[in-house]
Amino acid sequence: MERRGSGILLHITSLPSSYGIGDLGPGAYGFVNFLSEADQIYWQILPLNRTCTAYGNSPYSSFSAFAGNPLLISPELMVEDGILLKSDIEEHPTFPKERVNYRAVTKYKDKILGIAYERNKEKLTGNYEFERFCSENSYWLNDYGLFVSIKRQFKGVDWSKWPEDLKDRKEGVIKEWEERLREMILMEKYFQYIFFKQWYSLKNYCKSKNLQIIGDVPIYVNYDSSDVWANPEVFKLDEEGRPVFVTGVPPDYFSSTGQLWGHPVYDWNFLKETQYSWWIMRIEYNLRLFDIFRLDHFRGFVSYWKIPVNEKRAINGRWEKSPAKDFFNTLFKHFPHLPIIAEDLGVITPDVKEIMNLFGFPGMRVLIFAFGKNLPTNTNAPHNYVKNTVVYTGTHDNNTIKGWFKKELDHEGRKRLSEYIGHKVSEKTVHWELIRLAMMSVANMVIIPMQDILGLGERARMNLPASSRGNWEWRVTQDQLSSTIAQGLSETTRIYGRV
């Protein structure tokens, strides 16, 4: 992170694949080769956590902060590993190439994963590799396997509506349900075993290509998750086990009324008393998964916006302090090297900057935020960067450069952009103009969304915050990952000393 380099932001779901969604198979290995050909050294992805159509398929909204997403398991690699037969995957629905149809994909993946389990379940007893995986991950896997199995039994209803003794995790009742759902729990553990086996194979391939993976760690977890059900003391819940306050942010760039996220807030007093053991487990886990990771909503570790649970609008919350200095000091005692990128977008107060500077965490700068009336002093403008910074043309929450230029940048903004670059900027060339601005900057790290490298418009946007439809669906096609694009990116990377 202390040397000049660049990379691409592209989530696994957006990769090419014949099975309706990007996965950990041939399309991922092909993309690693593309990155290598383009002289990139970073591949940034979104969270790998299990998604759900009920929560809008968002990787930031999951039943577990630890479990991987079974939808990302590659059918082709399961055939290669002898888990499935080739005939099992030859006939499959015709899926769109450029979007993910999550309902159709979920139905198909559930089917073939079920076949894989039925074909291999008798071999799991005495399987050293599988048993070692279950043992090493028992601290989250046991609760997760039981949680999702019970949810299936109760038709998806959230855990606060389960029978009282089960909701409160009475020891005898838990053992009874573990026995009753033993088969289903084993199946869920098996899916996680396959997922992580495929993930670590891909990570090792990245390493062989001198490529580092940048992961993404959401600060909060869903109320309806195995994390909250199994660790209620970590969160501010009432006597009935329901949140007292929920998360969100006040009005900002993305929303004039703020955003009501709805996760339970942490009980930082309890976390401090327990030396942050829950977070230490989570950080250790993510350090195994990724080379570097982005801590989402970093300012929440310094002070967080808490909204009374009955409020309908985020604007009616208030700030509460977190023990940031003590928290990060404790982390550094456990992990001498913490390769963290602090997501410090939005309104950032001096106390947040103080913590970032104290621990040396690089922050984020987003180019499409730079060209407002305050351009000369705007921290997102290249002339105000420092080396210890990660620059993005835009993030997964923003429009593409072309979409932004066409739909969001007014006449005065376009004028400022042209004056800044030194010549008139057109819709046709604006994506490369901003990519070059990022690449030539003093910032050590530059990350470009794949959509911007391809010069795609608004339809290729990954997510629109505060909206619930059409998000997380965009996919790149194999034809778009051409040698011509790779060579053009390589040339720019070399010119600005990022190889």
Which residues are annotated as catalytic?
296, 343, 397
In the numeric block, which tokens belong to residue 395?
């993030």
Retrieve residue 231's tokens. Answer: 């660790």
DSSP secondary structure code for residue 25 in this structure: S
H or E element in which residue 2 lies: none
d(CA 85, CA 94): 20
Residues 379, 252, 373, 371, Cα dihedral to 10°: 60
**In terms of DSSP bridges, do strands 259-264 and 245-249 run parallel, antiparallel, or are they unpaired?**
antiparallel
The identity of residue 177, as a single letter, is: W
∠ CA(51), CA(343), CA(445), 5° rounding?
105
Phi, psi of 220 (to 5 degrees): -105, 165
Strand order in the sheet with 363-366: 340-342, 292-295, 212-217, 42-44, 5-9, 445-449, 389-392, 363-366
Sign of the four-CA dihedral 56, 60, 66, 69 = positive
With H, G, I as helix, E, B as strand and everything else as coil, classify residue 95: coil
Residue with tokens 């329901």: 242
Whether the CB-CB separation of 38 and 31 falls below 8 Å is answered with no
Three-class DSSP category at 388: coil
**Taking CA 441 as the corner, what is the angle to CA 435 and CA 442, rounded to the nearest 5 degrees?**
150
- Rounded Cα gap, residues 351 and 68, in angstroms: 34
Sheet strands (E) in 128-275: 212-217, 245-249, 259-264
Spell out the residues 6+ positions from residue 50 whose beta carbon is closer than 8 angstroms to its own: 62, 63, 64, 67, 68, 69, 70
Closest CA to 96 of 20, 15, 14: 20
